[in-house]
Structure 1
Amino acid sequence: MAKSLFPSYVRPGILRPGLLLLALLSLHTLQAQELRVNVTVNSNQVSGTNKKIFTTLQNSIKEFLNGRRWSADVYAPAERIECNMLLNLTGDVGDNVYKATLTIQATRPVYNAGYMSSLLNMQDNNLVFRYVEFQPLEFSDNRVVGNDPLSSNLTAVLAYYAYIILGLDADSFAPRGGDPFFKKALNIVSNAPDGKDITGWKPFEGNRNRYWLQDNLLNVKFSRFHDVMYQYHRQGMDVMYDDMTKGRGAIMNCLNMLYAVYQDIPNSMLMSVFFTSKSEELQKIFSKSPPQEKSRAVQLLAQMDVTNASKYQQMK
C-alpha cells in the first residue's frame, strides 16, 4: 500500500500547522493530480466494430481522469486516490453512439495499516455517449454541455464521479471537507447535456441516479452523514491500529448517527451507496466485538441495510 508523506494520511489542504514546513520543503516532489484511476473498457457485447477504437477510448479516459487537475490542492504521488472504473459497453446504437454501464470504485488508506477502506462502490446504468476514435475528451466546468450533448455526456459523467470521489475522500479527512467538490458535482448536474437518449441527470428519471446522489450529499437533512464520514475514518478506522476498542466504539457511534438519518429519511440513495461500500467492512469490524456491542450493531445494520441483513444476522 502506498503510504502518505504526511503522518495520519492528512490530505493536502488539511495539513496540521506542524506539517506545513515539511509540505513546503517537499513541494518540488509533489504532483498536482489527485486521482490514480485504473480504467477498463469492456466491449464484449459490441460486435461489428473495430476493437482498436475501444483501446483508444480506454487510454483516453485514463488520461482524462489521471492527467487532469481537479482541484487547487497539491497531492503527493502516494496520496493520489486509488480508483477503478469499468466501462461496460452494452450496445452500439449507430453513428458512433454507445450504451454502457459504469462501475466506480474508490478507496482510502487506513493509517498504520496495509488496508484500503472502500469509499465508493457503485454502478451507473444510464450512460449513453458518442465517441469517435482519437477525438479529444474535453470538459469545462463553465460549459458542461459542450458542442455535442452525446459526446459531452461521457466527460460530464466522468467529471461528476471524479468530484464525488474527491468529496467523499475529503469528507473522510476533515469535517465537511467534501462540500466544494459536491458543489462542483451539482454544477454538472445543473448544466448537464440534454437529449432524448441521455438519462440520469434529472430527478424524475428515477430515485437512484446522479441527480439524487448529489442532492443527498448537499441536502441539510443528511448533514449527519458528513459527520459520519469524518468520524468513521479519522476517529474510527485510523485509530484501530493503536486502540481497536476505541476505534470500534467510534464506528458504533457512527451507526447510531446513521440510524437517526435513516429514521428521518428511510431508503435514501446516499444510505444505500454508503452500505454498498461498507457492508463487508462493517461485518468484519463487529464480528469479533463484545456480545452486547455486536448485538446492537446487528440490530442497526439489519434495519438500515436490508439487502445485507441476512449477512449481519450471521454475526450473532
Structure 2
Amino acid sequence: MRRLLVLMCVLVGLSASAQEIRCTVTVNAEQTARADLQIFRTLKNQIEEFINEYQWTNMKMTTQERIDMNLVIIVTDYDGDDFTATLQVQSSRPAYGSSYNSPIYNYNDKQFSFTYREFQPLNFNPNSFDSNLISVIAFHVYTVIGLDADTFSRNGGDPYFQVAKQIVNTAASSNFLGWKATDGAQSRFRYNDALLSNVFSEFHNVMYDYHRLGLDIMHENPKEAKQIMSTSLSRLRMINDRRPNSFLLRTFFDAKENEISRVFSGGPQVDIAKLIEDLNRMAPTKRASWEDIRY
C-alpha cells in the first residue's frame, strides 16, 4: 500500500513541479546514407525539448540540481515513418564539494524501433501505450531519476522504478521488443525487474553508500571515502554470487569502470586487495582496467 501511495504521488506531481532533467540528444543517421535529411534534426530537437521541458515528478529542483543526461540515437534503417535504431543512455550526478560529475547510468538499448512522423506531438501518458518512441524515452528517464535518487537516500529511487515498471507493463501489449520477459536477458523488462527484485536488494544500498557516504566526502577525507567505496563495491559480490553476469551489474560497471580505476589509483592508499579480487570476479571483461589500478 505504501508503494502504491508513493507511486500515485509521483504521477499526480507530473504537472506540478520544476523540470528535473538536463538532456543532450544526438541523432546519428549515417548508416541510412540519408543523414542529411531534415527529419533527423527535427527528431533530435523534439526529443530534447520533450525531455527537458516535461515535468516528470513532484521534486523541487534548482537549475543546478537538474540531472545531466545524454541520449545518442543511432538510426540504422529508415523507411517512411518506421525507424530502426539503437539508443545509448547515460547520466551523471555531481560529487559534493567538487566539479566532478560521477557517471550513474550507461545503458545500450539495442531493442529500439519506433514510428515517427516529422513534427508529430510527443505526448506521454503513463497509463497508455501511444508510441514506442515515447515509452522507451520515458522508461529511461524514470530509471535515471530513480538511480539518481538512490544515490541521495536509501531506496530513494523505488517510486520512480515503479513508474518505469508501469511503463513496461503498459508497453508489453505492443509488438515492440524489450518490454516482455521473453525478450532476452538484456531488455528493459529485465533491467527494471532486477531493480525491483529482492534478489538485487544490496544494489540500492551500495548506490547510496558508494556515492553519498563515500564519493561525497572525498574532498574532506579521501582515505575514509575510498575505504567506504571499496567496502560498498565488494558487497555487490553477494549479488554476483546469486546471479553471475547479471545485466544490472554489467550496466553498473559499464558506467563505473573508469571512475573506479581512477579513484583507487591515486591519493591516499587503502587496502583494496579484496576489492580487486571481487572486481575481477564480478566484471571479468574489464580486467584490463582493474589491472591498471596502482595502489
CA pair 193-206 structure 1, distance change in 2 beyond 3 A: closer
**Equivalent in the alignment of 2:11:** none
Paired letter, 2:38 = K
Who is 1:78 aligned against?
64
Aligned length: 279
Per-residue CA shift, 1:225-248, capped at 9, x if unaligned? Answer: 100000000100000100001101
Task: Read off the aligned partner of 1:132 and give its amino acid letter.
Answer: R
Match of 2:202 in 1: 224
| Residue deviations 1:136-161 (CA, integer Å, cap 9, x gap) | 11110111x12xxxxx0000000000
Letter in 2 for 1:123: N
Q: Which runs of 5+ in 1 are unaligned?
A: 1-30, 147-151
Aligned counterpart for 1:87 among listed residues 61, 73, 77: 73
Q: Select 1:213's aligned residue among 168, 184, 191.
A: 191
Corresponding position: 1:164 with 2:150: no
Tell me: CA distance 1:39–1:226, structure 2 relative to 1, closer, same or farther (3 Å): same
User: SS state of the match for residue 127, structure 1?
Assistant: strand
Q: 5+ unaligned residues in a row in structure 2: which ranges?
A: 1-16
Distance (whole Å) between structure 2 residues aligned to residue 276 and residue 314 of structure 1 = 16
Residues 1:102 and 2:63 aligned together? no
| Separation (CA, whole Å) in 1 of partners of 2:241 and 2:273 | 19
CA distance in 2, matches of 1:193, 1:87: 22
Q: Is the 8 A contact 1:286 1:297 kept in 2?
A: no
Q: Is the 8 A contact 1:173 1:230 kept in 2?
A: yes
Q: What is the aligned partner in structure 1 of residue 214 from structure 2?
A: 236
Give 1:290 shift: 7.0
What is the alpha-carbon distance in structure 1 between the residues aligned to residue 271 and residue 42 of structure 2? 51
Percent identity over the alignment?
37
Matched letter for residue 166 of structure 1: I
For residue 246 of structure 1, what is the aligned residue in structure 2?
A: 224
Q: Once the 2 structures are TM-superposed, how far is the Cα of residue 48 of structure 1 from its aligned partner?
A: 5.1
Contact 2:222 2:268 (8 Å CA) reproduced: no
Please point out which of 221, 228, 249 is paired with 1:271: 249
1:1-316 to 2 correspondences below 5 Å? 32-47=18-33, 51-92=37-78, 94-143=79-128, 145-146=129-130, 152-192=131-171, 194-196=173-175, 198-288=176-266, 293-315=271-293
Amino acid in structure 2 at the alignment position of 1:115: Y
- In the alignment, the residues of structure 1 paired with residue 221 and residue 116 of structure 2 have an alpha-carbon distance, to the nearest angstrom, of 51
Contact kept in structure 2, 1:56 and 1:134, CA below 8 Å:
yes
Letter in 2 for 1:191: T
Does structure 2 conserve the Cα–Cα contact (< 8 Å) formed by 1:302 and 1:313? no
Q: Deviations over 1:154-195 (max 9, x none)?
A: 000000000000000000000000000000010011110645
Counterpart for residue 6 of structure 2: none
Question: Following the alignment from structure 1 to structure 2, what is the Cα–Cα distance between the partners of residues 179 and 194?
Answer: 24
- Per mean C-alpha deviation after superposition, the further-off stretch among 184-193 and 230-239 is 184-193
Q: CA deviation at 1:291?
A: 6.8
Q: Which runs of 4+ in 1 moved over 3 A?
A: 47-50, 193-196, 288-292
What is the TM-score when the length of structure 2 is the normalising length?
Answer: 0.90
